[in-house]
Structure 1
């Protein structure tokens, strides 16, 4: 079964064909990690704003005990 590569995978394969030094590879990995972390943070900010959440909501959540009931 053939699996089609995503556009991101194709671009990364082109990049990695250049045989970069380890330092540059680490820098690129950090750039990608920061990029996706920023996108996740932006998405969470949107959810937070759309739902009208507050700092107090966060405090309340940290104090909740959301454990499943233990059953024998």
Structure 2
């Protein structure tokens, strides 16, 4: 059996779960992570839009693609 090596973020999250094992704590943490990564994605997309790499024409092209084939 191969050992799993956790990165620092995974180790930190595992330690956090030792403190709060409740369902409410899990839901709050999931919401917090969702908001964090949503904010990161929005910032990255805004930067692409501002740089001209992403525009409505490109979004329309992506919308028409069969992304399952990629």
TM-score by length of 1: 0.67
Write 1 or 2 for the structure with the bigger share of helix. 2
What is the RMSD computed on CA atoms of the aligned residues? 2.7
Distance in 2 separating the partners of 1:27 and 1:18: 14
Residue aligned with 2:21, SS = coil
Distance in 1 separating the partners of 2:61 and 2:33: 34
Q: Whose Rg is larger?
A: 1
Residue aligned with 1:16, SS = helix
User: Aligned in 2, Cα 1:63/1:13: closer, same or farther, shift over 3 Å?
Assistant: closer
TM-score by length of 2: 0.69
Residue aligned with 1:5, SS = coil
The structure, 1 or 2, with the larger RCO (C-alpha pairs under 8 Å, 6+ apart) is 2
For 1:10-29, list aligned pairs within 5 A: 10-29=11-30
Q: Which consecutive residues of structure 1, in runs of 5 or more, have no partner in the other structure?
A: none
